[in-house]
Amino acid sequence: MASDASSDSYELVAALKQYKYIAPALSLCERLFVDAFWTRVVEYVPRWIAPNVLTLAGGACIAAALGLTLVHSPNFEGQAPPWVYCANAVLLLAYQTFDGIDGKQARRTGAGSPLGELMDHGVDAVVIGGVSGLIVDAFAFGLLSPWPWLIVAGAQASFHASNLTLLMGGQMLVNPLDACELQWTIFGALMLTAAGGSGLWGAALPFGLPLHDEAWRIDWRAGVPLRELLVVLSVAGMVRNLGQWFASLAATVRAAPAGKAQNRLARQLFRQVALLGGFGAVLAHCYLSVLAQPPTVPLAERRLALKLLLLCDTFCFGEAMARLLVERVATTEMPLAPPGLLCLLSFSAAASRGTAACAAVCALAAGLHLTYFVSTSRLIADALGIRVLRVGKKHVD
């Protein structure tokens, strides 16, 4: 048994030593001003602060913003006072800054490692759900509407695909209009909501379309609501990026040497596309399961179930993406159906049993994600002989 553990440890160390980080290309905003801003900011960060601490601080900013939203606008219907939207905008900008300078701090202190990539992208995977919640509330959609779930699914699909280019190609493909540009757009939307209220996003544009569905809360006959048009445009941009990412992935498979290498990449692509489709289908099924509850179920319980679904999906997606990132830095193949996906699937059954069952599944999802993420981070840190949240003395001096 001891020899097996020693062998596994040796294989992990060998895989981690093969890790090589290649910085992605900069997006439009990063080229224009954001990267220069991050370079300036990181100069004021003490060298003894570990890059992973900066990463977690960024995640804490989004957690705080989501907490403010839940307290002041619990139904995500734009009921928060203006100062909350200002605070959320500042916290979003703080998250983006921490997310941008953690890598620079790693290179500045010589503390870059596979662990940093796991922590950075692992936190980003969880943050997606929180940021989606902020914009859903600013637009006053409410979680009963299908539009919020289109935002969540699109954002998670984009993150998954971009990290898949990292897994299969060794370098993340960044488009000119990417996550940074979307974050600045959300920042502007939050500031506009603070200035004019969430009602401005419900204003109908002076043209209509023959689209009406009571069940899906869509009525474009008299005019297209601005907030719904913005979601359609955002999702169209995400679909465009997805097309570019998957075209790049297909090219990676074709360019690989015929034989085992090409077959391995083709298998990776098939498994990840199946996982991506599985998450979208399961999330839609869970949402519809909540809506399909009997009319006797109070509206407040439906809303609570959907809030729990958002949290559950966030942790389940985070767990699956953590496994993808581990496959990237340690070359250990993740399962086709990771525990996170199976946990999310169980939410649809819990929805028929009430909010207590939904809360239990949500707690299970959080436990699965945190247990895997923390234990794997420690395992990688031990294999590399480094600390998760501390910079070695040789890097500080």
CATH number for the domain harbouring residue 378 = 1.20.120.1760
**Any domain includes 276:** yes
**Any domain includes 157:** yes
318: three-class secondary structure by DSSP? helix
112: three-class secondary structure by DSSP? coil
Q: pLDDT truncated to tens, each residue of the chain (397 aa)?
A: 334 334 445 566 777 777 777 778 899 999 999 999 999 999 999 999 999 999 999 999 999 999 999 999 999 999 999 999 999 999 999 999 999 999 999 999 888 888 999 999 999 999 999 999 999 999 999 999 999 999 999 999 999 999 999 888 888 888 888 899 999 999 999 999 999 999 999 999 888 888 887 776 788 888 899 999 999 999 898 889 888 889 999 999 999 888 888 998 898 899 999 999 999 999 999 999 999 988 889 999 999 999 999 999 999 999 999 999 988 887 777 777 899 999 999 999 999 899 999 999 999 999 999 999 999 999 899 888 888 888 865 544 4
Q: Residue 23 is which amino acid? A: A
Instruction: Give the total residue count for the chain.
Output: 397
pLDDT at 228: 92
121 in active site: yes
354: three-class secondary structure by DSSP? coil
* Residue 60 and residue 125 in contact, taking contact as beta carbons nearer than 8 Å: no
Q: Give the whole-angstrom CA distance, residue 385 versus residue 397.
A: 18
Measured over the CA atoms of residue 270, residue 273, residue 278 and residue 279, the dihedral's sign is positive
End-to-end CA distance of the chain: 41
**Any domain includes 28:** no
**Any domain includes 16:** no
* Residue 96 and residue 31 in contact, taking contact as beta carbons nearer than 8 Å: no
CB burial string 259-297: b at 16+ within 10 A, e below = eeeeeebbebbebbeebbebbbebbeebbebbeeeeeeb
Q: Which residues pair with residue 232 across a beta bridge?
A: none
**Any domain includes 15:** no
Dihedral pair phi/psi, residue 135, rounded to 5°:
-75, -30
Q: Give the whole-angstrom CA distance, residue 150 versus residue 38.
A: 31
pLDDT at 175: 86
Residues ≥6 apart with Cβ < 8 Å to 189: 135, 138, 139, 201, 230
Identify which of 182, 84, 176 has the alpha carbon closest to the alpha carbon of residue 124. 182
pLDDT at 391: 80
Q: Give the whole-angstrom CA distance, residue 317 versus residue 42.
A: 30
Identify which of 245, 294, 217 has the alpha carbon closest to the alpha carbon of residue 24. 245
Kind of pairing between the strands at 212-213 and 218-219: antiparallel
Which residue segment(s) compose the domain that 311 sits in? Answer: 37-396
Identify which of 314, 170, 159, 145 has the alpha carbon closest to the alpha carbon of residue 231. 145
Q: Residues 121, 160, 369, 395: which is the catalytic one?
A: 121
**Any domain includes 2:** no
Neighbour count for residue 195 (Cβ, 10 Å): 11
Q: Give the whole-angstrom CA distance, residue 314 versus residue 62.
A: 13
**Any domain includes 166:** yes
213: three-class secondary structure by DSSP? strand
16: three-class secondary structure by DSSP? helix
212: three-class secondary structure by DSSP? strand
Domain count, the chain: 1
Residues ≥6 apart with Cβ < 8 Å to 380: 12, 16, 114, 115, 118, 326, 329, 330
Dihedral pair phi/psi, residue 75, rounded to 5°:
-95, 5
pLDDT at 4: 38
What does the block give as tokens for 137? 């509330």
**Any domain includes 233:** yes
pTM for this entry: 0.93
Identify which of 195, 201, 202, 179 has the alpha carbon closest to the alpha carbon of residue 92. 179
